[in-house]
């Protein structure tokens, strides 16, 4: 046995660490939680990437807050827009917290040193974004605080530098592959309670296994957009954290709701931020028509993302798409001054030049909806505590950011509310975790805590099958694009379900070429593929059950919203082994009431 402060205690080849708070994920939510927890508790952040490579850095356009620096605004209007934008599936108590605490969240970042764009008198500048309005929907409002079109990048850098200032312990390029749960005596005699006791991680540089024991664990692992082929998400967004929670028998909420951002570069999915439309960009069809005037006459190109994505798809279906195959529409900023474009949209225009060879000064940019954001995920309450059912808290377990479902986004997230979400609920997760560990004791680790992870990795490494990981992943992604994207039907969703069953069988017969330990990304991609199959299946199964259209979930065979039967959250539970039966045999669906305070469901007009 050896003991090293940076490598932990080595016992039988496994490294053991002990921290009060362990945060899984070093994006915006994880690092905001760390800043809150680090000064008050022994905190460690475990990340599969170097922190400043986390996907928060890809967020471009802004962070919403009713500062009223440029136009009259208030948090109640922001709350209403969030609820309406989410097609009334938003929990309104959570939306009120999001909008109220948005103002302090922006000021916190300003005080940490984030270089926001400024008005001539030195205040934080603000611009328009889709779905954000004044006076409960009467007109667009300037609510998005921004740093050019690199807002997420600036937030990530600012949070990381402040984590360094606070001396946060980072374990970079460590893949967390398991959550350890231990049964402990309950409050009532003769009962037990499952509590988290730690996590197990694979160190990419060495192939060694590390066990992190903790009093409180925060999941901030981001989304899972790589279940789709056309996506704005990075290759690493494979839903590891959400998948781990699922495999532990804890529920997932509203998994059928996935956002397809209207303006991905055609054929690539690389994101062109809504900031462009916030600065005045116009969507046009092949006839040059500003078609959003027909669909959303009040706010036009600044309608919520789900509406615009469907309008674009409709234009293409009806033959008004551009290009040789008439399969995209155009984002036009040619009427904007080059100086404005360079000052406020530098990355967007560079992407168009680099990847499509289009000069945005003079040519409209081909765009198409791209899989962008998961509204569903790990269910939490407003304290960021993870739930084991509709109301029961898992003591010591928290989640924040895209991996969590609180639910402030309902069935469709408004642009700029994601960067807000990670800061508001990341802060809450860190703060509440600290309060918890003040009185909590370390929960004993299970016997041989790394056994499960070691068995999985050994099974993959020793596999000598004939199936390639990339082939299975490609078939899954292409089918999800075809059958579970902007438009869905029972037939299309059934096709994906049947394919996933076949892919699971093939997954048992995979082989990895790299049999080594150091930097074995081949091995980890095999593990990630398992998570992708799990999450795609839950999404599709939940979508088949919801026989209505709401927000990011549009069923052509049930094209209207049905509040009488479906104004509820979907709760999915794993009830058996996914590899032993079809989805109907190992997934159980239940519902959870939507919290409604001030805004009863109304018709969604823009």
Q: Is 558 left (phi over 0), alpha (psi -120 to 50) or beta?
A: beta
Residue 32 is labelled as binding a ligand: no
Residue 115 is labelled as binding a ligand: no
Residue 225 is labelled as binding a ligand: no
Residue 477 is labelled as binding a ligand: no
Strands 14-24 and 43-47, sheet pairing = parallel
Residue 59 is labelled as binding a ligand: yes
Asked if 485 and 554 count as a contact pair (C-beta separation under 8 A), the reply is no
Residue 60 is labelled as binding a ligand: yes
Q: How many C-beta neighbours within 10 Å does residue 518 have? A: 11
d(CA 192, CA 1): 33
User: Is 305 known to be catalytic?
Assistant: yes
d(CA 201, CA 170): 13
For the record, the structure tokens of 10 come out as 């080595």
Residue 449 is labelled as binding a ligand: no
d(CA 451, CA 148): 48
Residue 413 is labelled as binding a ligand: yes
Residue 240 is labelled as binding a ligand: yes
Is 593 buried (19+), middle (13-18) or exposed (0-12) by CB count in 10 A?
exposed
Residue 136 is labelled as binding a ligand: no
Residue 52 is labelled as binding a ligand: yes
Residue 57 is labelled as binding a ligand: yes
Report the side by side order of strands in the sheet with 282-284: 258-265, 365-374, 329-332, 282-284
For the record, the structure tokens of 27 come out as 């994006």
Residue 56 is labelled as binding a ligand: yes
Asked if 145 and 65 count as a contact pair (C-beta separation under 8 A), the reply is yes
Residue 267 is labelled as binding a ligand: no
Give me the DSSP letters along 175-242: EEEEEEEEEEE-SSTT-EEEEEEEEEEEETTT--EEEEEEEEEEE-----GGGSSSBSS-TT-S-HHH
The answer for residues whose C-beta is within 8 angstroms of residue 165's C-beta and 6 or more apart is: none
Query: Cα-flanking dihedrals φ and ψ of residue 506, to 5°?
Result: -70, -30
Asked if 41 and 396 count as a contact pair (C-beta separation under 8 A), the reply is no
Coil, strand, or helix at residue 581?
Answer: coil
Residue 40 is labelled as binding a ligand: no
Residue 273 is labelled as binding a ligand: yes
Residue 488 is labelled as binding a ligand: no
Considering the candidates 32, 128, 305, 310, report the single residue annotated as catalytic.
305
Residue 166 is labelled as binding a ligand: no
Residue 525 is labelled as binding a ligand: no
Asked if 238 and 226 count as a contact pair (C-beta separation under 8 A), the reply is yes
Residue 17 is labelled as binding a ligand: no
Residue 606 is labelled as binding a ligand: no
Residues of the chain by 3-state class (helix, strand, coil), percent to 5: 35, 25, 40
Query: Cα-flanking dihedrals φ and ψ of residue 396, to 5°?
Result: 85, 5
Residue 48 is labelled as binding a ligand: yes
Annotated binding site for FAD: 25-30, 47-62, 240, 402, 418-419
Give the residue numbers annotated as catalytic, written as ranges: 305
Annotated binding site: 25-30, 47-62, 240, 261, 273, 372, 402, 413, 418-419
Annotated binding site for substrate: 261, 273, 372, 413
């Amino acid at each position: 046995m050896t003991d090293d402060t940076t490598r932990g205690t080595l016992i039988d080849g496994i490294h053991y660490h002990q921290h009060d708070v362990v945060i899984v994920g070093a994006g915006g939510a994880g690092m905001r939680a760390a800043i809150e927890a680090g000064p008050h508790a022994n905190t460690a952040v475990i990340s599969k990437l170097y922190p400043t490579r986390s996907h928060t850095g890809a967020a471009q356009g802004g962070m919403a807050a009713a500062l009223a620096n440029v136009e009259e605004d208030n948090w109640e209007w922001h709350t209403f827009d969030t609820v309406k934008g989410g097609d009334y599936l938003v929990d309104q108590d959570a939306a009120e917290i999001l909008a109220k605490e948005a103002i302090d969240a922006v000021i916190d970042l300003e005080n940490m040193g984030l270089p926001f764009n400024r008005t001539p008198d030195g205040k934080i500048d603000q611009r328009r974004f889709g779905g954000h309005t004044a006076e409960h929907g009467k007109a667009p409002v300037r609510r998005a605080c921004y740093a050019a079109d690199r807002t997420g990048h600036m937030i990530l850098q600012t949070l990381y530098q402040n984590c360094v200032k606070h001396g946060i312990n980072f374990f970079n390029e460590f893949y967390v592959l398991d959550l350890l749960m231990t049964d402990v005596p309950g409050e009532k005699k003769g009962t037990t309670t499952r509590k988290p006791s730690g996590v197990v991680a694979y160190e990419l540089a060495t192939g060694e296994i590390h066990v992190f024991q903790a009093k409180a664990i925060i999941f901030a692992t981001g989304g899972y957009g790589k279940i789709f082929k056309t996506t704005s998400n990075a290759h690493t967004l494979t839903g590891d954290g959400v998948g781990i929670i699922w495999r532990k028998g804890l529920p997932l909420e509203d998994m059928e709701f996935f956002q397809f951002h209207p303006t991905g570069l055609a054929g690539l999915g690389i994101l062109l931020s809504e900031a462009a439309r916030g600065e005045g960009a116009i969507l046009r069809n092949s006839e040059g028509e500003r078609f959003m005037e027909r669909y959303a006459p009040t706010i036009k190109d600044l309608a919520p993302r789900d509406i615009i994505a469907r309008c674009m798809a409709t234009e293409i279906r009806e033959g008004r798409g551009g290009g040789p195959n008439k399969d995209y529409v155009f984002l036009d900023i040619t009427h904007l001054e080059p100086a404005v474009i360079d000052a406020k949209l530098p990355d967007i225009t560079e992407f168009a030049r680099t990847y499509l060879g289009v000069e945005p000064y003079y040519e409209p940019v081909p765009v198409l909806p791209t899989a962008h954001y998961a509204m569903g995920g790990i269910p939490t309450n407003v304290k960021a505590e993870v739930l084991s059912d509709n109301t029961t808290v898992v003591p010591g377990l928290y989640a924040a950011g895209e991996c969590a479902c609180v639910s402030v986004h309902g069935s469709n997230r408004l642009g700029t509310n994601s960067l807000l979400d990670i800061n508001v609920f990341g802060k809450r997760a860190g703060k509440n975790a600290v309060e918890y560990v003040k009185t909590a004791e370390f929960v004993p680790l299970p016997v041989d805590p790394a056994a499960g992870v070691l068995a999985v990795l050994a099974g993959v490494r020793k596999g000598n099958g004939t199936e390639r990981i990339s082939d299975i992943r490609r078939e899954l992604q292409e089918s999800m694009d075809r059958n579970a994207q902007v438009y869905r039907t029972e037939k299309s969703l059934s096709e994906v379900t049947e394919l996933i069953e076949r892919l699971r069988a093939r997954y048992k017969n995979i082989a990895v070429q790299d049999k080594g330990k150091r930097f074995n990304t081949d091995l980890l991609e095999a593990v990630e593929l398992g998570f992708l199959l799990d999450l795609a299946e839950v999404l599709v199964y939940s979508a088949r059950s919801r026989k209505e259209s709401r927000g990011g979930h549009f069923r052509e065979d049930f094209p209207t919203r049905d509040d009488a039967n479906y104004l509820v959250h979907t709760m999915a539970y794993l009830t058996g082994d996914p590899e032993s039966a079809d989805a109907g045999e190992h997934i159980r669906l239940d519902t959870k009431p939507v919290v409604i305070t001030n805004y009863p469901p109304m018709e969604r007009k823009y």
